[in-house]
Amino acid sequence: MKRRWFELGLIAAAALVVAVMPFLLSNYNRSQGATVAVYLIAILGLNIVTGYTGQISIGHGAFMAIGGYTTAILTHNHGWNDVATLPIALAIGFGAGVIVGLPALRFHGAYLALLTFALALAVPQLAKNYSHFTGGTEGLALPTHTGLWLYGLAWATATVVFVLTWVLLRGRTGRAFRAVRDSEIAAASSGIGLALHKTLAFGVSAAFASVAGSIYVLINNFVNPDVFGLTLSLYILIGAVVGGLGSLWGVVVGAAFVQLLPIGLTSSNAVSSEAVPVVFGAIVIVVMALLPQGSAVILGGIAGLPNRFRRSHSSYPPPRMEAR
Amino acid sequence: MPANLRPWIVPALLAGLVIFLLVGSLRSALFAQQTVSGLANGGIYASLGVALVLIYRATQVINFAQGAIATFTTYVAWQFMQWGLGYWGAFVITLCVAFAGGIAIQLVAIRPVERRGNVLTVVIASIGVLIAVEGAVGWIWGPEIRFMPSAFPVRTYHVGGVAFSLQDLGTIGVSIASVVVLWALFQFTKLGLAMRAAALRPNAARLVGVRVSWMLSFGWGLAAVLGAIAGMMAAASPSVLLQPNMMDGVLIYAFAAAVLGGLESPLGAVIGGLAIGAMLNLLSSYVSWVTPQLLLPAAFVVMLTVLLVKPSGLFGRTRVHRV
């Protein structure tokens, strides 16, 4: 009971920070804050498929590209209201995730990593090629919005997605996902449909990434194939792992890590802006060496503080990935 | 279904491909030219693909940083040439730098996480290396496109109305030679034997006195050397050029080559690389709607098809899982 109150307090504090933040920031920093929410949504999606269901995906930037282009094409070419495109992006993203998830049923570990990595590089090439839809390398422009509006939209969506994920994962489906992750054979023997749950995980995951892509495009008010380059996919995966796979609160830490750390490094003048990727990559390597389960270990420790003297409490088992 | 495929399917497919390329080349000069320049690209994919296979066989890890490391070493070669060294001098020095660099990266970034035995952690560490090394290239040399000199003079040979460029022939020659040297190293030296032992049976190898972790580092060094050769060949080709992200696309073709070859077979990666290089080049010159932008998605489709139809590739072993 004590633990529950402690957690609720943490949630309230986090919500308060997110709600008050935009009024303390400049317009530019508000859109940076909105981008944190974009990463949060995309990493939540990736965490469902990689953290909870155990299927590696390095290509979630591809799903973000699908959502981003859905929004851009509908608003730019067909005059839609931009917020109205979000449900469409969600639906198309779900479809794309199911299509990718179907062949992924047969692959594990390294092979799935290879395929999704290739997907992340292949999708922007498609956008370059079919330029009469997508504007090619020149891209498409979208209506501009104030930083406050973007911040509100991004964090409101992030909150909805977070709650949806929590509801999905706490019940029967979430248990089935985790069972598939821990042992496919055991899960199948206890009557869990492997195909259904893996494709469902891929679909939901891609749908969230797709919405994240839509909002990302709205924040940039511009889209071209380079927006969804390889780096974006890599950053989402890094965020998910640094935050802690299989941990919902870790996702928040991961999103802040990938968006704010490079900005912090640049603005602190500690390193020149060209050197930021080098330092960022080095930090990723160090974090992996010291904290392979991500921030979830630390977060679990904090959340467990009230219980510390009552019993040893570990509710964060490390996710197991199969080698192949 | 894959297990039921007849054993003669793979040789038959390869023979069919070779006959197709030969007959086409004999009938049309353009076809022959495109085949040779495709095979030259394929040689590059093959070198990088073998580098991937080398690391995958030893540790079951895909090295996503392979392309970035190759780019870095190619810039090193370019820098030495700027300082006035001849091509082959710079080439040899670069291979030494690559070998040392590969070992250093394995020691610093990969070995500390490998001990934990989690595949995903190692994948992220290699992605960290990818970001850091590619960032280092941009930081040191800037984002501009550089001109990388070629090892071979710009000259063409005419054989029966077909113009073969020396550049293409040289690229094929260097890639094949480097893989053959590597094969000889593994087959005929004590070091190679120890490395094979360390990759296949780490515990047994340790018992007979092989220093397994050093052998793994060595494997990374050799992979980096192969990557450096691929990078230097690729940067001289007009379709790639020397720029910080030049190997991103090449890496995907190398993935496709490795997957086509079965991911565990160096010979498979070589044949896969040559086949993919030739087929993609022919595809883009004969099918009008296949633009250069569609070649990467095509490589993706090749990978997907191979994995769906025959996941063990042309030469991979079919693994049987015990429940």
Does B131 contact A324 at a Cβ distance shorter than 8 Å?
Answer: no
| Residue B163 Cα, gap to closest chain A Cα (Å) | 31
Chain A residues in contact with B119 (beta carbon < 8 A): 109-110, 321-323
Q: What is the pLDDT of residues A154-208, one digit of tens each?
A: 999 998 999 899 888 888 888 999 988 888 888 888 888 888 888 999 999 999 9
A278 neighbourhood in chain B, CB within 8 Å: 132, 135-136, 139
The mean pLDDT of B32-42, rounded to a whole number, is 87
Q: At what angle do helices A85-104 and B295-309 cross, to 10 degrees?
A: 50
- B10: Cα within 13 Å, side-chain hemisphere: 20
Note whether residue A178 is domain-resident: yes
Q: Which of A117, A126, A284 sits opposite B128 (nearest CB)?
A: A284
> Residue B110, class by beta-carbon neighbours within 10 Å (0-12 exposed, 13-18 middle, 19+ buried)?
buried
Q: What is the DSSP letter of B242?
A: B
Is A13 part of any domain? Answer: no
- Nearest CB among A121, A245, A282 relative to B252 is that of A121
pLDDT at res. B164: 79
If you average pLDDT over residues B3-17, what whole number do you get? Answer: 75
For the beta carbon of residue B187, count every other beta carbon within 10 angstroms: 10
At B183-193, the pLDDT tens digits run 898 889 999 89
Q: Which amino acid is at A94?
A: F
Element (H, E) at B164: strand B162-165
Compute how many other C-beta atoms are within 10 angstroms of the C-beta atom of residue A222: 15
Phi then psi dihedrals of residue B242, to 5 deg: -85, 105
Burial of B34 (0-12, 13-18, 19+ CB in 10 A): buried
Task: Provide the pLDDT confidence category of residue B1 given band limits of 50, 70 and 90.
Answer: very low
Highest mean pLDDT: which of B66-70, B173-177, B301-305? Answer: B66-70
Higher pLDDT, B60 or A41: A41
pLDDT value of residue A287: 84
Judge contact between B136 and B72, C-beta under 8 A: yes
Are B244 and B143 in contact by the 8 Å Cβ rule? The answer is yes
Q: Give the separation between CA B267 and CA B46, rounded to whole angstroms.
A: 9
Q: For residue B77, name the pLDDT band (cuts at 50, 70, 90).
A: very high
Confidence (pLDDT) at B51: 92
Inter-chain touch A114–B303, beta carbons under 8 Å: yes
* A124 to chain B, closest Cα gap in Å: 9
Lowest mean pLDDT of A231-240, A266-275, B83-92, B125-134, name the range. Answer: A266-275
- Residues in chain A with CB shorter than 8 Å from the CB of B116 are 292
* Comparison of pLDDT for B310 and A278, the residue scoring more: A278
| Cα–Cα distances in angstroms (integers) from residue B141 to residues B66, B136, B144, B241, in the given order | 19, 8, 8, 14
Average pLDDT, chain B: 86
Q: Say if the Cβ atoms of A237 and B124 lie within 8 Å.
A: yes
Closest Cβ–Cβ partner in B119, B121, B255 for A118: B255
Q: What's the whole-number mean pLDDT along residues A251-280?
A: 82
Nearest CA in chain A to B249: A121
Per-residue pLDDT for B16 more than 60?
yes
Q: What is the mean pLDDT of residues B50-67?
A: 88
Distance of CA A160 to the CA centre of its chain: 14
A56 domain residue, yes or no: yes
The answer to whether residue A82 sits within a structural domain is: yes
Quick check: A212 and A48 in contact, CB under 8 A? no
Query: What number is the average pLDDT over the span B113-134?
Result: 83
Q: Identify which of B109, B297, B307 has the shortest CB distance to residue A122.
A: B297
A117 vs B299: CB contact, 8 Å cut-off?
Answer: no
Judge whether A254 lies within some domain. yes
* Residues of A whose CB is below 8 A from B135: 274-278, 280-281
Give the gap in angstroms from C-alpha B93 to the nearest C-alpha of chain A. Answer: 24
Q: Is residue A12 part of a domain?
A: no
How much of chain B is in helix, strand and coil states, percent to nearest 5?
75, 5, 25
Query: Which pLDDT value is given to residue B84?
Result: 86
Q: Average pLDDT in the A258-279 region?
A: 80
A111 with B307: Cβ contact below 8 A:
yes
Longest dimension (CA), chain A: 65
Query: How confident is the model over A206-240, as pLDDT tens digits?
Result: 999 999 999 999 998 888 888 888 889 988 988 88
The CA distance from A97 to B155, in Å, is: 49
From the list A242, A42, A217, the residue with the least C-alpha distance to A141 is A217
Task: Give residue B172's identity as a one-letter amino acid code.
Answer: I
Digit-coded pLDDT (tens) for A62-93? 999 999 999 998 988 888 888 888 999 999 99
Answer whether B113 sits within 8 Å of A292, measured CB to CB: yes
Q: What is the pTM of this model?
A: 0.87
Q: Do B131 and A292 touch (CB under 8 A)?
A: no
pLDDT digits (tens, 9 = 90+) for A277-319: 888 888 888 888 887 777 777 777 776 665 554 444 444 444 4
Residue A264 is predicted with a pLDDT of 81
Residue B163 has pLDDT above 80, yes or no: no
Domain count, chain A: 1
Q: Are A277 and B135 within 8 A, CB to CB?
A: yes
Query: For a pLDDT cut of 70, what percent of chain B falls above it?
Result: 96
Output the pLDDT for position A3.
Answer: 66
DSSP characters for B90-128?
Answer: HHHHHHHHHHHHHHHHIIIIIHHHHTTT-HHHHHHHHHH
Dihedrals φ, ψ of A223, to 5°?
A: -140, 135
Nearest to B106 by CA among B211, B178, B254, B214: B214
Does the pLDDT at position A108 exceed 80?
no
pLDDT at A314: 44
CB contact under 8 A, B125 and A289: yes
How far, in Å, CA of B292 to CA of B295, rounded?
6
User: Does residue A1 fall inside a structural domain?
Assistant: no
User: Best residue in A129, A237, A245 to probe B by mutation, most B CBs within 10 Å?
Assistant: A129
Q: Which residues of B touch A276 (CB under 8 A)?
A: 135
**In terms of residue numbers, what domain contains A286?**
25-307
Does residue B225 contact residue B99 with C-beta atoms inside 8 Å? yes
Interchain proximity B125–A284, CB inside 8 Å: yes
- Nearest by Cα to A75 from A228, A254, A214: A214
What is the number of CB-based contacts under 8 A between chain A and chain B? 149
User: How far apart, in Å, are the Cα atoms of B90 and each of A102, B83, B96?
Assistant: 48, 10, 10
Beta strands B156-159 and B162-165, pairing class: antiparallel
Give which of A58, A117, A295 to mutate to test B binding, by max B Cβ within 10 Å.
A117
Residue in A113, A115, A289 nearest the CB of B112: A289
A284 contacts on B by Cβ (under 8 Å): 124-125, 127-128, 131-132
Does A288 contact B124 at a Cβ distance shorter than 8 Å?
A: yes
| Residue A9 included in any domain | no
Residue A315 pLDDT? 45
Phi and psi, residue A183, nearest 5°: -160, 115
* Average pLDDT, integer, range B199-226: 89
Nearest chain B Cα distance for residue A15, angstroms: 30
Question: What is the C-alpha separation between B20 and A81, in angstroms, rounded?
Answer: 54
3-state helix, strand and coil shares in percent for chain A, rounded to the nearest 5: 75, 0, 20
Tokens 């498979």 correspond to B268
pLDDT band at B25 (very low <50, low <70, confident <90, very high): confident
Provide the CATH number for the domain around residue A137: 1.10.3470
> Partners of A141 in the beta sheet?
A222
Q: DSSP letter at B83?
A: T
**Cβ atoms within 10 Å, residue A321:** 21
CA neighbor of B58 nearest in space, from B256, B177, B210, B272: B210
Average pLDDT of the segment spanning A1-11: 73
pLDDT digits (tens, 9 = 90+) for A10-56: 778 878 887 777 777 777 778 888 889 999 999 999 999 988 888 88
CB A62 within 8 A of CB A119: yes
Alpha-carbon A4 to chain mean position: 26
Which residue segments constitute the domains of chain B, with CATH numbers given?
Answer: 2-309 (1.10.3470)
**Torsion angle in degrees (nearest 10) through CA of A267, A281, B91, B58:** 180
